Amino acid sequence: MAFDKVELKDIEVWDGNFAASQALRQCQIDVVAAYPITPSTPIVEGYGNMKANNQIEGEFVMVESEHAAMSGCIGAAAAGGRVATATSSQGYALMVETLYQASGMRLPIVLNVVNRALAAPLNVNGDHSDMYLGRDSGWIQLDAYCPQDAYDLNFIAFKVAEDHDIRLPAMVHQDGFMTSHTAQGVHTLDDDTAYGFVGDFQPMNDMLDFEHPVTHGVQTEEDWHFEHKARQHNDLMTKVLPKIQTAFDDFEKISGRKYNLVEKYDMDDADVAVVCMGTSVETAREVAGEMRAKGIKAGVVGIRVVRPFPFFEIAEALKEVKAIAALDRSSPNGAPGMLFNEIAGALFNTDTKALLSGYVYGLGGRDLTKKHLVDLYTELQANVDAGKVTTQLQQFIGVRGPKLSFL
């Protein structure tokens, strides 16, 4: 069946959702099985519109829930095709059971996650609760900071996930509303260049290859379960980051845009660093530049690959700084935040004497203002000057009521 290519301008004004829709169209996906949920709905809505306009050849399967959406994706991926979908928040939570099925069955599905808070109380706005919920699910997790990233990282996700040395599903995360519904200039790839980068889908152990029958979704008890899980973890720990780096390098050649496992901004001589994800990385970059004009050597470290966690790269990025703030946009509910813990682990056996403190911020879409970040950098500098963390180790940014701090 023929389909129409689309002429794009070099720079299109797209929000993160439509940027993801366009990337999915250009990747020529065989099956999208999807169920709508705010704020990710426009990804599959836009994609469905392209399908109706004969710009897409693949199948679009409308299902009755997110659990069914991912189940449909798993079936299609096992059958042997390029597969993708999108979700957020409660829909993501409903998918969780099937997320583990997808990764355990080594099926290279791409899931666009438009990050949103988890109820209760119900909230449609952006935080990283859903991203954090899936971080042990065995998926690769890439994080976009703006609509351009949401577009580009979809190509990276297919390229890495479908590699026969990897065969693991991948999520592309973007901040609900702050990226998904924010229109900005996006530099595009033409259809042929984009498709050429991801290439034709190469099936592996596909169920529709009747010459080579295979079984998917088997049961293993204590005899083999551990070996399967250990092998999956091994591949995540040893194979995925080098493949992502190669994909980033190749992508730079066709786009001129350079991505890194850990993004470093103003870090060469930084005394104080903020480590964060999503749109906050860009706002922090702007504030870091302004802090430097005030004499505080501020830098920003952005996590580009959440899973597998770039343990050594993050230690390398932070080894010279004197004070670090780890910003988590998800309630840890009874523990330090995820980034605080991962960074502490990455730095613990190194020579660093950096002062590490954790901050929980932005839950349910609460604004992270430049003023918050100015205060944060100022506090980090005060820690440096005092030679110790002058506050408790865990604080909350931007929450009303009595000041909350713990640990």
User: Which residues lie near other proteins (CB under 8 A)?
Assistant: 11, 13, 15, 124-125, 146, 175, 177-179, 181-185, 279-280, 282-283, 285-286, 367-371
Q: What's the closest the beta carbon of residue 285 comes to other proteins, in angstroms?
A: 5
Q: How far is the CB of 43 from other proteins (least distance, A)?
A: 16
Of 8 and 61, CB closest to other proteins: 8
* Residue placing its CB nearer to other proteins in the complex, 23 or 178: 178
As given in the structure block, the two tokens for residue 15 are: 């929000």
Residue 260 beta carbon to other proteins: minimum distance, rounded to whole angstroms: 17
CB of 274: closest distance to other proteins in angstroms?
14
Q: Select 43 or 146, whichever has its Cβ closest to other proteins.
A: 146
Minimum distance of other proteins from residue 12's CB (angstroms)? 8
Q: How many other CB atoms are found less than 10 A from the CB of residue 235? A: 18
Q: Take residue 284 and report the two structure tokens written for it.
A: 């922090």
Neighbour count for residue 295 (Cβ, 10 Å): 8
Looking at the Cβ atoms of 152 and 282, the one nearer to other proteins is 282
DSSP string, 287-349: HHHHHHHTT--EEEEEESEEES--HHHHHHHHTT-SEEEEEESS--SSS--HHHHHHHHHHTT
Task: Tell me the closest approach of the beta carbon of residue 184 to other proteins, in angstroms.
Answer: 5
Q: Measured from the CB atom, is 134 or 364 closer to other proteins?
A: 364
Of 28 and 41, which has the nearer Cβ to other proteins? 41
Between CA 235 and CA 105 the distance in angstroms is 13
Distance of closest approach, residue 183 Cβ to other proteins, in angstroms: 4
Residue 371 CA, chain-centre distance (Å), reads 26
Instruction: Choose between 233 and 371: whose C-beta lies nearer to other proteins.
Output: 371
In degrees, to the nearest 5, what angle opens at C-alpha 44 toward C-alphas 40 and 50? 145
Nearest CB to other proteins, comparing residues 183 and 204: 183
Backbone angles phi, psi at 311, to 5 degrees: -55, -50
CB closer to other proteins out of 8 and 389: 8
Cβ atoms of 321 and 270 closer than 8 Å: yes
Q: Which residues contact 223 (CB under 8 A, 6 or more apart)?
A: none
Half-sphere exposure of 2 (CA within 13 A, CB side): 2
Record the tokens describing residue 12, joined without a space. Answer: 């299109």
Distance CA 118, CA 135 (A): 15
| Residue 390 beta carbon to other proteins: minimum distance, rounded to whole angstroms | 26
Cβ pair 318, 300 in contact under 8 A: no
Neighbours of 5 (CB within 10 A): 12
Smallest distance, other proteins to C-beta of residue 26, A: 20
The number of angstroms, rounded, from the C-alpha of 185 to the middle of its chain's C-alpha atoms is 20
